[in-house]
Amino acid sequence: MDVLNLRWWGWGTLDQSYPLEGRTAFWPTLQAWLEIPEEWIAHETPPIPLEDISLRPPRLNPRQFSALHKLLSENAVRTDQRARIEHAYGKAYRDLVRLRAGHVPYPPDVVVYPDDEAQIASLLAWAADNDVAVIPFGGGSSVLGGVEPPADDRLIITLDLARLDRVLSVDTTSRTARIQAGATGPELEAQLNAQGFTLGHFPQSFEFSTLGGWIATRSAGQNSIGYGKIEHMTQAVRVITPIGILETKDTPATAAGPSLLQLLLGSEGTYGVITEATMRIHPLPQAQDYRGILFHSLEDSVAAFRDLMQHRQLHPAIIRLSDAPETAAYAVMGHEHHGLRRLADTLLERYLKMRGYDLTTGSTLMLLGFEGDTPWVARQWNVALEICADYGGLSLGQTVGRSWRRERYAQPYLRDTLLGHGIMVDTLETATTWSNLLNLYTAMVQAMKKSITENGGGPGYVMTHVSHAYAQGASLYSTFLGRQVADPDPLAKQAQWQAVKRATTDAILAAGGTLTHHHGIGRDHAPWLEEEIGPGGMQVLRALKSTLDPAGIMNPGILLQS
Using one digit for the tens of pLDDT, what is the confidence trace for 298-339?
999 999 999 999 999 999 999 999 999 999 999 888 877 666
CA-to-CA distance for 315 and 312, rounded, in angstroms?
A: 8
How far apart, in whole angstroms, are the C-alpha atoms of residue 72 and residue 234?
29
Q: Contact 316/225 with Cβ under 8 angstroms?
A: yes
The percentage of residues in the chain with a pLDDT greater than 70, rounded to a whole number, is 97
Paired with 432 in beta bridges are: 474
The pLDDT of 512-516, averaged and rounded, is 98
Contact indicator for 124, 246 with CB cutoff of 8 Å: no
At 561, the pLDDT band (50, 70, 90 cuts) reads confident
Query: Looking at residue 256, what DSSP letter applies?
Result: S
Q: Element (H or E) spanning 291, and its range? A: strand 287-295
Is the confidence at residue 351, as pLDDT, over 80?
no
In Å, what is the CA distance from 399 to each residue of 290, 368, 406? 9, 12, 11
Mean pLDDT value of segment 58-65: 96
Q: Is the pLDDT of residue 172 over 60?
A: yes
Residue from 270, 68, 49, 1 nearest 150 by CA: 270
What's the confidence (pLDDT) of residue 354? Answer: 80
What is the average pLDDT across 265-270?
98
Check residue 546 and give its pLDDT: 97
Angle at 448 between CA 443 and CA 453, to 5 degrees: 130
Burial level of 118, CB count in 10 A (0-12/13-18/19+)?
exposed
Calculate the CA 545 to chain-centre distance: 25
Domain ranges of the chain: 167-283, 287-407, 411-522
Asked if the model's pLDDT at residue 1 lies above 80, the reply is no
Summarize pLDDT for 184-228 with one digit per residue, the tens. Answer: 999 999 999 999 999 999 999 999 999 999 999 999 999 999 999
Give the whole-angstrom CA distance, residue 461 versus residue 425: 10
Burial of 121 (0-12, 13-18, 19+ CB in 10 A): buried
Q: Which band of pLDDT confidence, cut at 50, 70 and 90, is reported for residue 347?
A: low
The continuous run of DSSP H or E covering 160 comes out as: strand 156-160
Residue 287 pLDDT more than 60? yes
- Quote the pLDDT of residue 348: 72
Find out whether 400 and 363 touch, Cβ atoms under 8 Å: no
- CA distances to 437, 448, 496 from 393, rounded to whole Å, are 20, 29, 39
pLDDT of 562 reads 64
Pairing of strands 461-467, 473-483: antiparallel
**pLDDT 10s digits, 8-56:** 999 999 999 999 998 999 999 999 999 999 999 999 999 999 999 999 9
- pLDDT tens-digit profile of 500-512? 999 999 999 999 9
pLDDT at 233: 98
The residues assigned a catalytic role are 477
pLDDT score of 342: 66
Residues 6+ apart with CB under 8 A from 495: none
Number of helices (H), then strands (E), belonging to the chain: the values are 20, 18
CATH code, residues 287-407: 3.30.70.3450
Q: What pLDDT is attached to residue 502? A: 98
485 confidence band (pLDDT: 50, 70, 90): very high
Question: What is each CA distance from 403 to 72, 224, 382, 398, 410, in whole angstroms?
Answer: 46, 20, 22, 9, 12
User: Which band of pLDDT confidence, cut at 50, 70 and 90, is reported for residue 2?
Assistant: low
The pLDDT assigned to 334 comes to: 81
Q: Does position 349 have pLDDT exceeding 80, yes or no?
A: no
**Residues facing 274 on adjacent strands:** 239
Q: Find the mean pLDDT for residues 143-172.
A: 97
Alpha carbon distance 127, 125 (integer Å): 5
74 pLDDT above the threshold of 90: no
Select the CATH number that applies to the domain covering 411-522 from these four: 3.30.1360.70, 1.10.287.1120, 3.40.30.10, 3.30.300.330.
3.30.300.330
Mean confidence (pLDDT) of the chain: 95
Tally of CB atoms within 10 A around 562: 9
Q: Is the pLDDT of residue 343 over 60?
A: no
Q: What percent of the chain has pLDDT over 90?
A: 92
**Which class does domain 167-283 fall in?**
alpha beta
